[in-house]
Structure 1
Amino acid sequence: MWHLLMEIVLLLTVAFVLGAIAQKLKQSAIIGYLMAGAVVGPLLFNAEAVRQVAELGVALLLFSIGLEFSFSRLRTLGSIALIGGTLQVIISLALFAILLIPFTDLSTAIAIGAMAALSSTAVVLRVLVDRAAIDSIHGRNALGILLLQDIAVVPLVLLVTVLSQGGSAGEIALHLGKTLGGAVILVVAFYLLFYHLVPRLLMAQGLFANRELVVLLAIIIALGSIWVAHALALSPALGAFLAGMLLAESPFASQIRSDIVSIRTLFVTLFFTSVGMLADPSWLVQHLQEVLIGLLLVFGVKTLIIYAIARFFNNGPVHALATGFTLAQVGEFSFVLAAAAFEGALINADQFAIVVSITILSLLFAPYTVVNAEKWALFVLTRLFRSKLQYSGKTPMNPQPDQMHVLIIGFGPAGQEVAQALKSHNVDSHVIELNPHTAAKAGQMDLHVHIGDATSSDMMNHIGSQAICAAVITLPDPKTCRDVIANLKLLLPGIPILTRSRYHRYSMDLKNRGATIVVDEESTVGQTLADNLITLMHKSNQDAMACALTGERSP
């Protein structure tokens, strides 16, 4: 055990160093993690044990993606997410399978086609967010398609598992029927457990306020769902994703996601380093020509497919091609499909090696294609049509006024007054509140409720996907207000921030930390008392005033 621990520490240390170097060079840290695995992998004696630990990272990643997935969020991304993302996965899988049929059997061609259909959520979203391009037209297109791809991972894993079992068409159909039957049982059981029982358990008095218990419960849910899926002979990834997806509709999703982010980061880092361990530099050098041809084929075919789909949904040619360049790479979940196919003898060692090599190289190039997507698209189309194209650049898809939301942090009496006033003016509100019972009042007002800690960057990052136009902090604690302001300035830059200050001595500090308007309670109360006193004096004569001050009623 101690040797395994030492090797994990060594692997994480090298991953940290190379990941930091990659970040310094303005590249994705994932590139550093992959390189760490390639460098350290040959030195490890317990490589298989490390890979088994890393599989937990994949499951936790899918659990957190399930927490991100909600039907309401998917609807906000429009038809290009729901329909375009589905078309992209199906068409890419089918076209790559057709191209591969002359070189291998149908089942293997379908499996490799499924691997090639996926793009890298981790790399693309990181680069888009870092460059503030997530709300550009091609950025929102990419976000919608990536979300559907992440959802598609689960049925694709099931597909690869069924194909690995081989047999005739009838036997494959029988295996598929059994798998789907097990999946239905899993969905029904998880629905009853995670959609009804767990939220009620979290609503129990004092339970949700204890962060340690929430973290523990989240880990139990994630790992328990993995085990149950395995016991039903289903993919552990399916169990993790379903558990997260069913919890996503509860108001606790953002806080659970925030609480497990550190643990997930550990295991996901191990996953990417374990992928790097699969790299075989000597094999790559010997088969460099085949790998490069495969890489160019994947980039070209995927770019054209996504371009056609984006054009079908009335995107301009530049934005459509930029979306294609952004999603042209092979994604991290392709490693999951490749590992399942290799373990099931669906692909051989050489096929596995070429898939891994193409995927790693595409991830290495992905940050460059995402960063330069618009520039390359404009260049290609201008040369192709030999004319200037009408192009709006990085114009963000700004929400219409009726789509704007105000973020209310804290739903005590002050927060409720703000929400009521906004509702009377038909302004939609999102509420962050740590106390489930207080948050229930916001739910009764038909507001968007997020139960959790507003000082959590992951919580705020999730809220930031909404069209927030202003934030109102109604919390009484000045230290918490400072932390929330810092979070808002980092993750929702540019929006006006209104906050309360319970005591006068904290007002200037909150203002200096970035609050647009600070309502000083002590000054406000004093001013209100003075205004009422002056009004009373103006309305009464001296004798009536004297009677009022002594508590007597005027005759």
Structure 2
Amino acid sequence: MSAEIVETAQSAGDLIRAVALLGAAVIAVPLFKRIGLGSVLGYLAAGLAIGPFGLKIVSDYNAIIHLAEFGVVMFLFVIGLEMNPSHLWGLRRQIFGLGSLQIIIASIFMTIVGHLFGVSWQVAFVSSTGFVLTSTAIVMQVLGERKELTTKRGQQIVSILLFEDLLIVPLLAIVAFLSPIEKAETVSWWQTALIGIGSLVALILIGRFALNPIFRILANSKAREVMTAAALFVVLGAALLMEEAGLSMAMGAFVAGVLLSESSFRHQLEADIEPFRGLLLGLFFLGVGMSLNLTVVANNLWLILSGVIALMLTKGICIYLVARAAKSTHKVALERALLMAQGGEFAFVLFTDALSQGVIDETVNANMTAIIVLSMVFTPLVLVLYEKFAPKEKKEATQDDEIDEQHSILIIGMGRFGQIVNDMLRHSGYHTTVVDFNAAMIKGFQEYGIKSYFGDASRHEFLIAAGLEKAELLVVAIDNKEQAVNIVEFARKINPNIKIVARAFDRFSTFHLHRAGADEVIRETFDSAVRAGKRALEAVGMEASTVKEIANYFFDASRREVALMAQVYDPNIKMFQNTAMRDIALEYDQRMAERIQEIILRAQQEKEEKEEQDSDTTEQTLEEVSEIVKR
């Protein structure tokens, strides 16, 4: 009986802790966002409040952090879904060049700073390299809230984070080399490297040849919960494979996402993962807040605060200088430095391993853990202060965005016309390069998660930078008639094999676009007018099947008529004085009227024949019934 009471009490305690975690997040996060401090600080404050150094409702924060690390893993999977392999290959210089330069320079200077605090160079090196590993969770969360994950500077930051994920493996090997503890012979470094590379190749092969067929089979089963389970299986399975190979779980999830980025199931996978990602990532920040040991901070207040300031300042300066060397603007470099100046969650892994290897002692581990956690706490606060007090820079209206990603489909104009075209292509799995000259519109699309660029498409050099020379399809969706014709003419000249679909403002712009070289010219009100005509015919009592046939014929015939008119159109001759155009119009009007009357007549005949057949069938049935009755 006593055992049952203890078990019931434990279950109740688990439920209380779960309710406390959810309640703290529900209260703190909206409150902190309302006062402008952001969701990350809200989670951290909530964790500190209910943790072992607050109300003591939850004590085992390590278990929570370990579980919640899967939130970071899923975040990297979602980021991978947004990057196809060709795009990732295009970022190789940023990943290995920018990432390695930033980490090497920051590690050197932070090691010097650590040594100035009076510790050995080994301890200073481990502490600084732990701090150089930026918090993926915090950076991704902030970029996500700002809708900057798909922007150029956002992807540069993601590239550096990916390189840092790869860096954890050699850092752990260095810690083992620095260890004063004698160890039995273990697996050599080259064997470890081969295992890691082999596992990565295996994951790529599985993703390339197995995942899409499997998801296709599962989709045919029409079981939504099975697709969700499969999405989680892919993410966690890839993470487990990479962890067993000595790489990071986040790296495995990212690779899996990249391999599925061109899959037709990409949007479904993202929707299935999103609820788990958000919840676990919030749980991670709660765990970090709980892990802030206020006793250690109080006992070593000066050392820890000075360490946080010194390391964040040194790292921030190094990041700023590297960004400026890579030709980033002052504003972009400064914002990157403020965003990435904190330590990260991988530092906990490195410090734990260094403690077990005897490279650092318990005191250094406790102090550095507190420094890392405080740096993670300070970062959102610093960003809030920066956004509030930093001078605002106005972007020049004539300054085009730098195109950092080219695709085979180029769309010019994202107004009411271009948006629909882009959505149909995007939802069908195609990647597009979208440009528009409306800065507010571009900003809105960026916030909505649709990557687009601000720029003047009438400038030929901008079109070339957007990939016009290599594009397979150009969609001109702007409502400026003259500019549309100029773009089509230049596109046909610079890329003779490109397919061009152009929006026409009216019939005259249709003629100009045909002559300029457009393959398909779409009159912006033609389709809607045909639909209105269909509804009008149905409203006066015509059968829907007959209306559909008439509309289909009229649509095709009218397009052929306009294409013929374009060949004889002369802008120097008034429309009603151009006899060739008038002859085509009269001929097509007569032909279309005759053809439509034929369709109506045939439909009436078919209706009468059907009614007659139905009548004969009814009479025959009545006769058969009468015969049966007589018998």
Question: Shift of residue 154 of structure 1?
Answer: 2.5
**Paired residues of 2:77 and 2:257 also in contact (CA < 8 A):** yes
3-state SS of 2:210 partner = helix
Tell me what 1:280 maps to. 293
1:16 counterpart = 2:35? no
Q: Which residue of 2 aligns with 1:179?
A: 192
Kindly report which structure 2 residues correspond to 1:498-537, keeping only aligned pairs within 5 A, or say none. 520=528, 522-523=531-532, 525=534
Q: Give 1:186 deviation, angstroms.
A: 0.8
User: Which residue of the other structure, out of 429, 446, 465, is the alignment partner of 2:451?
Assistant: 465
Q: Which of 32, 41, 61 does residue 31 from structure 1 map onto? A: 41
Residues 1:96 and 2:110 aligned together: yes
User: Within the alignment, does 1:116 sit opposite 2:131 as a pair?
Assistant: yes
- Partner residue in 1 for 2:378: 365
The answer to whether the Cα contact below 8 Å between 2:44 and 2:288 also exists between their aligned partners in 1 is: yes
Aligned equivalents of 2:596, 2:291: Cα separation in 1: 86
Which residue in the other structure is 1:270 paired with? 283
The alpha carbon displacement at 1:151 in A equals 0.7
1:454-473 CA distances to partner (integer Å, 9 max, x unpaired)? xxxxx997852344999x9x
Work out whether residues 411 and 432 of structure 2, in 8 Å CA contact, stay in contact via their aligned partners in 1.
Answer: no
Residue 523 of structure 1 and its aligned partner are, at CA, apart by 0.9
AA at the equivalent of 1:303 = G
Which residue among 291, 316, 319 is the counterpart of 1:306?
Answer: 319
1:153 aligned to 2:153? no
Aligned with 2:51: secondary structure? helix
Q: Alpha carbons of 1:300 and 1:548: their partners in 2 closer, same or farther (altered >3 Å)?
A: closer
Q: 1:192 to 1:548 in 2, by over 3 A?
A: closer
Cα 1:468–1:150 change in 2 (3 A) is same
Contact in 2 for aligned 1:165/1:172 (Cα 8 Å):
no
SS of 1:432's equivalent? Answer: helix
SS of structure 1 residue aligned to 2:425: strand
Structure 1 residue 372: Cα displacement: 5.4
Q: Identify unmatched segments of 5+ residues in structure 1.
A: 380-390, 420-428, 449-458, 473-497, 499-515
Aligned equivalents of 2:288, 2:227: Cα separation in 1: 31
In the TM superposition, residue 433 of structure 1 has moved relative to its aligned partner by 3.2
TM-score normalized by the length of structure 1: 0.67
TM-score, length of structure 2 as denominator length: 0.59
Which entry has the higher C-alpha Rg, 1 or 2? 2
Residue 202 of structure 1 is matched in structure 2 by: 215
Query: Structure 1 residues 523 and 333 mapped into 2: Cα distance closer, same or farther (>3 Å)?
Result: farther
Alpha-carbon distance in 2 for matches of 1:366, 1:261: 25
Matched, 1:40 2:38: no
| AA aligned opposite 1:60 | M
Taking the aligned partners of 1:253 and 1:122, their CA distance within structure 2 comes to: 22
Alignment root-mean-square deviation, CA:
5.0
How far off its partner does 1:64 sit? Answer: 3.7
Structure 1 pair 146/545, CA: closer, same or farther in 2 (3 Å)?
A: closer
Say which is worse superposed, 187-196 or 361-370, in terms of deviation. Answer: 361-370
Alignment of 1:357-436 (within 5 A): 357-371=370-384, 373=386, 398-399=401-402, 405-406=410-411, 431-433=425-427
Is the counterpart of residue 85 in structure 1 residue 99 in structure 2? yes
**Aligned 8 A contact 2:147 2:449 in 1:** no
Equivalents in 1 of 2:147, 2:103: separation in Å? 26
Stretch moving more, 180-189 or 78-87? 78-87
Shift of 1:100: 2.8
1:35 CA drift (Å): 2.0
Shift of 1:284: 1.0
Q: In 2, are the aligned partners of 1:190 and 1:246 still within 8 Å (CA)?
A: no
Structure 2 unpaired stretches of 5+:
1-9, 434-444, 458-474, 476-502, 504-523, 537-550, 562-582, 603-631
Counterpart of 2:451, as a letter, is S
The CA deviation string for residues 286-310 of structure 1, in whole angstroms up to 9 with x for no partner, is 2121122112212321232122222
**What residue identity is the alignment partner of 1:464?**
I
Give the deviation of 1:44 after TM superposition.
2.6
Q: CA deviation at 1:355?
A: 2.8
Q: CA deviation at 1:125?
A: 5.5
Report how far residue 262 of structure 1 moved: 0.7
Shift in Å, 1:217? 1.1
Distance of aligned partners of 1:222 and 1:39 in 2 relative to their CA distance in 1, 3 Å threshold: same
Post-superposition offset of 1:208: 8.9
Report how far residue 365 of structure 1 moved. 3.0
* CA distance, structure 2, for counterparts of residue 398 and residue 519 of structure 1: 34
C-alpha spacing 1:376/1:309, structure 2 compared with 1 (3 Å): farther
Alignment of 1:325 with 2:331, yes or no, is no
CA deviation map 1:416-441 (0-9, x unaligned): x968xxxxxxxxx982336xxxx5xx
For 1:153, the aligned partner's letter is E
Contact 1:195 1:250 survives alignment (8 Å): no
Q: 1:346 to 1:248 in 2, by over 3 A?
A: farther
Percentage of matched positions with identical amino acids: 24
Paired amino acid for 2:227: V
Instruction: Please say if 1:353 is aligned against 2:366.
Output: yes
Summarize the Cα distance change of 1:313–1:246 in structure 2 as closer, same or farther, 3 Å threshold. Answer: same
Evaluate the alpha carbon distance shift between residue 320 and residue 542 of structure 1 in structure 2; reply closer, same or farther with a 3 A threshold. closer
Comparing 334-343 with 191-200, which one deviates more in the overlay? 334-343
Distance 2:228 2:109 in 1: 43
Give the alignment partner of residue 206 of structure 2, picking from 189, 193, 196: 193
Q: How many residues align structurally?
A: 463
**Aligned partner of 1:349: which letter?**
E
Q: Could you tell me whether the CA contact under 8 Å between 1:34 and 1:360 is conserved in 2?
A: no
- Give the 3-state SS of the residue equivalent to 2:100 in structure 1: helix
1:345 to 1:253, Cα distance in 2 relative to 1, 3 A: farther
Letter in 1 for 2:124: A
